[in-house]
Chain A
Amino acid sequence: MENDTIAAIATAMGESSIAIIRVSGQEALTLVDHIYQGKNKLIEATSHTVQYGHIVHPSTNEKVDEVLVTVMMAPRTFTRENVVEISCHGGLIAVEQTLELLLSTGVRLAEPGEFTKRAFLNGRIDLSQAEAVIDLIRAKTDKAAKVAIRQSEGKLSTHIRSLRSEIVETLAHLAVNVDYPEYDADVLTGQFVVERCKSMQTDLERLLQTARQGKILREGIATAIIGRPNVGKSSLMNALTQENKAIVTDIPGTTRDVIEEYVNVRGIPLKLLDTAGIRETEDIVEQIGVKRSEKALQSADLVLFMINHAESLQKEDLFLLEKIKAYPSLIIINKTDLPQQIDYEVVQAKSGNKKMIPLSVKTENGLDQLEEAIKDMFFAGNIDVNDQTYVSNARHIQLLEQAKASITEVISGVEQGIPLDMAEIDMKNAWQSLGEVIGEAVAEDLIDQIFSQFCLGK
């Protein structure tokens, strides 16, 4: 594990519109060369120079981004290994694509803190800093774990869990055929395995496609739309997603549960959360909805707090204004098509000088300003999303690709007449890659499955 080539996004996302991907390891130059086109190949470049060129898709030759690449040869580098730093200019999507391409060449995504760890292990950092390195690894890991937990509750993991359970059932069945040859379980046939794998292949392809479009996988900035009932939250959600998913009525308390949607606002992926309007209520269902809204608020990276232009400030508004103070947030004053009742100055004061955006979802007046404001906040670094989110997307894609490749090998192996128990090696690999996406332990699952699925014994 220690000698392979690793990569990660080196700059915190959002701090500037330039992002740097750092690659370290013996093969760093040759591997980056697979996806780089410039005047020279990087391996021919002089150490410690900057090269200008493009990141291109190795098979389609399609240009992904215009880049500056810094080449630094061992040992005069941070990690004492060969290091390549790619400065991407084309925004988030380009960074992610570049990282993804790199991973497909065999570069491994760095573990949290791994560059510093290598620097330390290679004697680049002195001993007194060991504690600091440990702290860094711990902190980064905790952050990554937080992202992972969030993702494990999402749609992606539901898909992956069901794929995995399909695989593990098949594996258990194969295992029983092997370990208990005399047991009267049906013997799995190659044809059956191929059929199953083909359907999994389709599922994986679909997942990958959505991943690339950044719909399900791209976790995005968790953006909660919060506000009193009936201010127009669901309407805003529908306007931003250009779908009519959230139900809109003029009855306060329409939305009873949190609704998630993924959108791309000026290149920035958002996970929009439409929530139940928060107010004191006797209705049990609504109460649950309100609880969930509060939870959504807690896990939000960005809050869009909405109040009604056409009503005076209510007790609940004040309560909520207080609540969102701690979060990066924008105040949206909706229904500007109706006569003004609200006092902007009071809102401004109570919110602690947050940016206010008057708009009308109905006439779409002001929506542009909202989108612009979100973008500004992001690039100003005001939204604390860590690069882990992006990195984990790239990682997911890599793992899903691996899983798909393994499943494809099962199919081709079985079709060529390889014994099933051998093709099982690939199936297990697929299962493991998928497990890594959602961070699930692998070791004991299979054994458990065998004994719960089949009645074995003496």
Chain B
Amino acid sequence: MSYQASNFDVIVIGAGHAGCEAALAAARMGCKTLLLTLSLDTIAYMPCNPSIGGPAKGHVVRELDALGGEMGKNIDKTHIQMRMLNTGKGPAVYALRAQADKVLYQREMKKAIEEEPNLTLHQNMVEKLLMEDGSCKGVITRTGAEYHAKTVVLTTGTYLRGKIIIGDLQYESGPNNQQPSINLAHHLQELGFEMVRFKTGTPPRINSRTIDTSKMEIQPGDTEPRAFSFETKAYIMDQLPCWLTYTNEKTHQYIQDNLHRAPMYSGQIEGRGPRYCPSIEDKIVRFADKNRHQIFIEPEGRETLEMYVQGLSTSLPEDVQQDILRTIDGLEKAEMVRTGYAIEYDAIVPTQLWPSLETKLVPGLFTAGQINGTSGYEEAAAQGIMAGINAARKVQGKEPVVLNRSDAYIGVLIDDLVTKGTNEPYRLLTSRAEYRLLLRHDNADLRLTDKGYEIGLIKEDRYQRFVAKRNAIKTEIERLRKTKLTPNAEVQTKLAELGTPDINNVTELANLIKRPELTYQEIMKLSPAPVELSDEVMEQVEIQLKYEGYIQKSLLQVDKMKRMEEKRIPHWVDYTKISGLSSESREKLQQVMPVSLGQASRISGVNPADISILMIYIEQGGRTA
């Protein structure tokens, strides 16, 4: 029996990383929001790595923060260690990564949700969407509650028709033995969504009491204070280390001998797994000449002895897993407390989405997270906030917010998904971004705070702090451009002291700083700033001036792309009526329904001639209309 439950503006299904951000964003934008999830004990649960950030992913967390998201703040409060990676490389690829206390992370996120005024949290399983005239107008739960809403955000992760696989054991399940979502998966199919079957996996966990860290390399956190959020001021300095060990010939031999028991190779797995997360059996087969693989041992939290064994993701049978562990240095006596597994699940083919993350098929329905074919907490959260924002804006009658590829990694991620689709679980990599130098970790606030403020997720006081920072950067850069050194004896001596060659002409400080051997701090010795500047401001001044040439080069490319991006494709365009298109590109264009010529040009198989033809067709229609 079903009953009429309350009405909302926005309903979010699933309190994973995507759902939490979506619900918080919608509520904070003033929408009456409901968050439904299978279990209140697994809010923002991390089924795999106890870690957030890293290259590209860490950038996304900072972007989320600049837009007013929660992930950055939450991990800042709950990590056991943080490290800046790639510090030996250029600033564009510096990346922050945190090891999380998983349980604490969940608890803090749950609290943030509970405390949010416009947000109602409820434990329940959604089985169906309420449809009215082809649009989504709410949900029906297993308990029969009919909730009405103006828009719905679906973020059910790896739960749809989830199936766990361990050796020859298979059973229907969500991650970590959560209940799977079966009916909802069938319902989506009935609505006409094209689905794919993907696969991912997780390694076994072990008890830290049973490992010998003296045989491993220690991996401590940074001693400098680090944070994801631009707002965090309280740093956690008491950190726990991770440990590094390696597989060896024995491990590899053992796996080889047991390959016949691996579901991967006996054809029991139909889902498509990600190449960037191969299981250990996959690594041994595909890279047979590598005689060892790294294994990182990472604590799952402060209040537990459970350790995550990074590098050993597997779906081999339980007994084999236990034996593999024991071949590894330092793990000879390791007790396995959780068995590794692979999980198969349904995902939506993401080219069925508009760049706003609304589905083309069902107006009012937005999807975000792993259900869209991605993998990763950060990727999920990024889509979550965008879907939440756009679901709220739709309720408010506003145009969707879409980030460009030159605005943010979030823009790259979503554009890739909706334009190209994906044939494996999609992970962000810095190499997916064509304007990597512009999308730095350090300037996420400069790129996105304005947007966050406009959207309404960045509050006035924070915005004012941001504007002050931006002005300070600008003023200092102008000062360095105006301040010039004359080549006299005094100046040359000072330069020599800084270990840099003489100058031959009158030289702006802004140019001098481009010398690789000079830092901003050293420039300050030649001519100190009139006011005290924060570390972040100094960092920006240095990066923006030092790499000016390369930044300019990237900006030029962005400019070119922008013009195509701004050419919108009107709704009346009917690809079947355009005679000159090749049949391949017609099919692709019909499927993707790009919103701009820029997006159209990124669809594989659509060539410049097709774009020209499309332009002419649009122009023709425009004039007859």
Contact = CB atoms under 8 A, between A and B. Distances in A.
A447 B431 contact: yes
Contacts of B283: 455, 457
Interface string A2-31: 110000000000000000000000000000
A376 to B, nearest CB: 35
Contact of B516 (A182, A418, A456): A418
B430 A422 contact: no
Interface range, B side: 35 or more
Contacts of A171: 431
B55 A181 contact: yes
Interface residues of A, number: 49
B366 to A, nearest CB: 26
SS class of chain A's interface: helix, strand, loop or mixed? helix
Interface in B576-625: 578-580, 602, 604, 607-609, 612-613, 615-617, 619-620, 623-624
A290 interface: no
A328 B580 CA distance: 30
A288 interface: no
Interface string B299-330: 00000000000110100000000000000000
Nearest to A175: B431
Interface in A95-143: 111-114, 117, 120-121, 127, 130-131, 133-135, 137-138, 141
B550 A441 contact: no
B571 interface: no
A458 B623 contact: no
Given A2-B563, A178-B89, A458-B203, A127 B580 contact: no
Given A416-B516, A417-B516, A137 B609 contact: yes
A425 to B, nearest CB: 6
Contacts of B430: 175, 178-179
A178 B579 contact: no
Interface in A390-406: none
A130 B622 CA distance: 12
A216 interface: no
A422 B437 contact: yes
Most chain A beta-carbon neighbours within 10 Å: one of B93, B516, B554, B620: B93
B550 A418 contact: yes
A114 B277 CA distance: 45
B198 to A, nearest CB: 16
Interface in B60-100: 85-86, 89-93, 95
A1 B580 contact: no
A182 B612 contact: no
A130 B616 contact: yes
A251 B187 CA distance: 76
B111 to A, nearest CB: 29
Contact of B547 (A121, A131, A183, A422): A422
Contact of B313 (A130, A181, A457): A457
A446 interface: yes
Contacts, number: 138
A175 B429 contact: yes
Contacts of B93: 178, 419, 421
B431 A450 contact: yes
B580 A137 contact: yes
A127 B612 contact: no
A420 interface: yes
A372 interface: no
A266 B619 CA distance: 47
A447 B274 CA distance: 12
Interface stretch (B12-20, B224-232, B287-295): B287-295
A455 B287 contact: yes
A141 to B, nearest CB: 4
Contact of B286 (A182, A425, A450, A455): A455
Given A1-B563, A117-B612, A179-B430, A421 B90 contact: yes
Nearest to B203: A458
A142 to B, nearest CB: 9
A417 B515 CA distance: 9
Contacts of A421: 89-90, 92-93, 436
A333 to B, nearest CB: 45
Contact of B609 (A111, A120, A418, A456): A111
A133 B616 contact: yes
Interface string A431-455: 0000000000101101100110001
A40 B279 CA distance: 72
Most chain B beta-carbon neighbours within 10 Å: one of A114, A178, A420, A441: A178
A104 B85 CA distance: 41
B623 A420 contact: no
B313 A111 contact: no
Given A450-B429, A457-B313, 5 more contacts: A117-B616, A120-B619, A134-B616, A138-B609, A179-B430
Closest 8 CB pairs of A and B: A419-B90, A417-B516, A134-B580, A455-B287, A141-B609, A451-B275, A130-B620, A175-B431
13 contacts: A1-B564, A111-B609, A112-B609, A131-B579, A135-B579, A137-B609, A179-B430, A184-B294, A425-B436, A443-B604, A451-B275, A457-B276, A457-B282
